[in-house]
Amino acid sequence: MMETYYKIRYINKENNEEIEMPLEKMVGILLNLEMGLNFHIEALKAQAIVIRTNLIKSSKSLEGGNFENIWDNREDKNVEKIIKAVEETKGLVILFNDKPIEAKYHLACGGSTENSENVIDNQIIYLRRVLCDYCKGSIYWKDEKNFSIEEIENLLKINFPKMDIDVESEISGFMEDIERDEYGRVISIKIGNKRFSGKELMELLDLNSTRFAIFPTGVKFVSRGKGHGIGLCQYGAERMAQEGYSHIEILKYYYTGVEIKEFQLPCIKRPLYGKIIVIDPGHGGEDEGHRGDSLGLLEKDLVLKLALKLKSKLEDLGVTVYLTREKDEKVLITERIEQANKLDPDFFISLHMDYFYNSKMKGCEIFHFRKDYNSEKLGSYILKNLKDRQIATRGVKEGNFYVFRGISGNSLLIEIGYLSNPQEEIKFIDENYMENLAEGIVKGILEYFQ
């Protein structure tokens, strides 16, 4: 069941104040803003579940200006439908593999929704393209915008060829296939589905001569739909509701392979309940990884020891933790990736150690894949907490490791130290140091989600 005390943090930027709002009240406020009173009750219910799912999924505080708390106006008949949509779906969340999804939505898809990887460079299993004519006839089905050539140059920061009689140009599909004589006079030109001689066109359009060039002075863009096209199509949901579909049927149409059910929320004792993290202790078995120069410590043993500590501490906070290996065995990188992608975790964290021959380099270094801003942010929280524990750090950086290219979600690779540095190697036989390292990583994860 949903916990009644679960609250959403909201930062009012106009008044520079932070507010904590009960989850269901915030769902109603945002539903009123995102859809409004004119939508069908079943479409409103679907959107309410989408909003609730995203509020639970996100670890970020909401930001904005003042908003109207519709619960203050319960007697108002106009908001009765909004409140009903929230109360009749109370606690319901969209889940995939038993965890809340990132429930993307947009106003109108214009004929079909979009695969996630075509918009956000990340393939998400439940955000698949579906055909949708339900939003046909909505105010966003078709739109036209006209731009002058100068406006396009300014907006796109580009330069078109300057208008000159000697510049060869045509407008494909409209005015094209121009034939000229050796002096530049137009012999013939195809316009639409008909061919004209240069002389005919000169006379019909009252041009001064047959030595002419064609330049557009403006462009019309005709678009269909509105928004990024991923996930729920709001006007499609409205039409489906009008045709008798329920909010559950609507959501299962736009989100592939999901379930809609109540989701147990975090509590004070288990603040990260519902989060899933895969920890990947690198190497294993015959693949030893790096070997320490001074004590001969093995990378495969140290990262596994740390992974087991992290698993225990994170599970105490409510996280569901999976290890790609729990003993000294070799697991192929492809198997690690496949396992993680099946679980669809909030984060995949790979643990390794570094080595640089004949060097005194030391410290923990964290890598994330390009444009993986969530992982970059988590890495910053982890390094901050390691620094607070006087553990040497080397920053958060972008990496292009094979494992990053295979994992479909957020992923980090943590190099916990240098086995080529005798002073740093000896720290890893100190139980207190390993405990401190684990505490710093866990605290960083906790701060990120809170």
3-state secondary structure the chain: CCCCCCEEEEEECCCCEEEEEEHHHHHHHHHHHHCCCCCCHHHHHHHHHHHHHHHHHCCCCEEECCCCCHHHHCCCHHHHHHHHHHHCCCCEEEEECCEECCCCEECECCEECCCCHHHHCCCCCCCCCCEECCCCCCCCCCEEEEEEHHHHHHHHCCCCCCCCCCCCCCECCCEEEEEECCCCCEEEEEECCEEEEHHHHHHHHCCCCCCCCCCCCEEEEEECCECCCCCEEHHHHHHHHHCCCCHHHHHHHHCCCCEEEECCCCCCCCCCCCCEEEEEECCECCECCCECCCCCCEHHHHHHHHHHHHHHHHHHCCCEEEECCCCCCCCCHHHHHHHHHHHCCCEEEEEEEECCCCCCCCCEEEEECCCCHHHHHHHHHHHHHHHHCCCCEEEEEECCCHHHHHCCCCEEEEEEEECCCHHHHHHHHCHHHHHHHHHHHHHHHHHHHC
Query: What CA–CA distance (Å, rounded) separates 360 from 349?
Result: 26
Residue 83 φ/ψ, nearest 5 degrees: -65, -40
pLDDT attached to residue 165: 72
Query: What CA–CA distance (Å, rounded) separates 237 from 251?
Result: 8
Distances in Å between the Cα of 375 and the Cα atoms of 55, 118, 125, 398, 414 are: 19, 21, 20, 10, 11
Q: pLDDT tens, 250-308?
A: 999 999 999 999 987 767 778 888 889 999 999 999 999 999 999 999 999 999 999 99
Residue 41 has pLDDT above 90, yes or no: yes
How far is CA 431 from its chain centroid? 38
pLDDT attached to residue 335: 95
Quick one: average pLDDT of 316-339? Answer: 94
pLDDT attached to residue 1: 40
Domain boundaries, the chain: 7-140+226-262, 144-223, 276-449
Are 351 and 321 spatial neighbours (Cβ–Cβ below 8 Å)? no
Rounded-to-10 torsion of CA 347, 348, 352, 356: -80
- 4-13, 65-74, 156-165, 387-396: range with lowest mean pLDDT: 65-74
pLDDT attached to residue 68: 61
Are 393 and 383 spatial neighbours (Cβ–Cβ below 8 Å)? yes
Task: State the chain's maximal CA–CA distance in angstroms.
Answer: 94
Are 105 and 234 spatial neighbours (Cβ–Cβ below 8 Å)? yes
Protein fold of 276-449: Aminopeptidase (3.40.630)
What are the residues facing 106 on neighbouring strands? 233
Are 104 and 116 spatial neighbours (Cβ–Cβ below 8 Å)? yes
Query: What CA–CA distance (Å, rounded) separates 52 from 87?
Result: 12
| pLDDT band with cut points at 50, 70 and 90 for residue 2 | very low
| pLDDT band with cut points at 50, 70 and 90 for residue 75 | low
Query: What CA–CA distance (Å, rounded) separates 306 from 225?
Result: 50
User: How many residues would you count in the chain?
Assistant: 450
Residue pointed to by tokens 């009252």 = 206
Query: What six digits make up the tokens of 334?
Result: 């492809």
Q: pLDDT tens, 402-439?
A: 888 899 889 999 999 999 999 999 999 999 999 999 99
**Cut 0.75: pTM above it:** no
Are 22 and 6 spatial neighbours (Cβ–Cβ below 8 Å)? yes
Residue 118 has pLDDT above 80, yes or no: yes
Query: What six digits make up the tokens of 65?
Result: 């200006």
Are 444 and 312 spatial neighbours (Cβ–Cβ below 8 Å)? no
Percent of the chain having pLDDT more than 90?
70
